[in-house]
Structure 1
């Protein structure tokens, strides 16, 4: 049921300054981030994209704008893919926040971390995964089970979706690295997801092109079975 390309937004002014932007308004891509967004257009050129879905925050909207323009698509805003609500931590420098007692919880036991006046990481994962599943089901119904779609979101959000797809506990999600404007890919099937890319910053994406139909009016369908002995 669809192939999901998870795209983290390009580098923002807050990323460059070491500030936890969270949901602060007005945080935009810096020069590096804008260049990263332009390169995404070329990287994804071989792939058919059914839809582009994005976090409502400006840095994500700016990241998908060149791609959307090149494809003639209007990005769909999905609140469920928004950045973590870091509450009182929003706007703080990472250097300062690292001294807070909660920092150790975020690092070692994130499923128990709830930000003051904000949300918990477990709650964030629940709403992000629900958003991905709901959009995936809708896109499969509208565009077919081999549809490829892109979701642009934020580092912790993408890591939590990948942790779910890998069937690993949220407490392990800090072991996943998701750099700015990196691509991670999850193939969803009827019984389980397959994670085929994580934090890809420049690899060939041609293997993600959906298989052609074997006969007229019959779409080739991705199997839910794993390849025994590894892939060829």
Structure 2
């Protein structure tokens, strides 16, 4: 007999190159406005004093190649191409060396967003949950171990919709590096294996419609693909 009143959600996990087991996701943290050009196109500025964050539920994760329905409650569903990384060791109040050692793997990700609902939150000084924490909105390609990927530097990051280029930038444009993010975030949370962090998107975000296909990539990592199907 189960100890629970109903079946629990299945653990969402991400494949890792060279590993027979996948990486189970516990928490998803997302860095806001980590590219100056994207902040400007959204009518804001980057905060150069410290990074800031929002979260997505792990149960909202899907893998590259999935088809997700156009979500309810929006008429302005946006793509955001991002570098994600996974934590591989417990870390709390980390220095730079500890933060770097805690990064286990890197991968391509999409942060899909109800932009109109996010704007509602901004306009009314309310949380962004309806805009960001959307079912099927955290999309992950298979990850590559940090030791195999090497240093995050000037790698190209790009996205296309139905083959048409929409985003094209360099990881060197990030305001806050992955190490800086771990160092900062670990002063607010006990970071641990299962934590995945999305590092923000470059300029060029925009809407997609049902029937369209999103593709994207980062030099040295597995590419990502998502199909948008009809609303339920």
TM-score (normalised: structure 1) = 0.21
* TM, length-normalised to structure 2: 0.21
Return the index of the structure with the highest Cα Rg: 1
**Larger % of helix: which?**
1
